[in-house]
Amino acid sequence: MANYNTLFLDVNKWSLAVDTSGNIAVASPPYSQAQDAASAIRLWQNKLYYDKSAGIPYAGILGSIPNIPLLKSYMVAQARTVPGVVKAVCFISSISNRGISGQVQITNELGQTAAAGF
């Protein structure tokens, strides 16, 4: 497995954060993979500029009471698109007016586990 680092995102704001030296913070595996899986879960199909096929499809989710098992299967499929992720489990903690929140737990190809909220 290659060293899979990514920019660390503040868990409350989902935006860039700084480290103790004032530099842009970087996350390392396995957390970087969990964070990227959470980002992939946040993507709706047709919204990624350079790949319109990526993301969770709208059909059966938006505009109606979502089918929870279907939604979770889409989330797991999105999490598994992250390089090195071999297993993902999604937990939905809240579905409100226009939002879904929860947690994705991943296992990478080295057997390491990590979790990130979405």
**Per-residue pLDDT tens digits for 65-80:** 778 899 999 999 999 9
Residue 16, CA atoms < 13 Å, CB-side half-sphere: 6
- Token look-up 């109606």 returns 64
Cα–Cα distance for residue pair 105/110, rounded to 1 Å: 15
State pTM to two decimals.
Answer: 0.88
pLDDT score, position 67: 83
Residue 2: predicted pLDDT: 58
Q: Which residues have a Cβ under 8 Å from the Cβ of 31 and sit 6 or more positions away?
A: 114, 116
Q: For the chain, which ranges sit under pLDDT 70?
A: 1-3, 60
Could you tell me the CA-to-CA distances from 17 to 4, 65, 70 in Å, in that order? 18, 35, 33
Closest among 43, 57, 42 to 117, alpha carbons compared: 42
pLDDT at 100: 86
Quote the tokens at residue 71: 């939604």
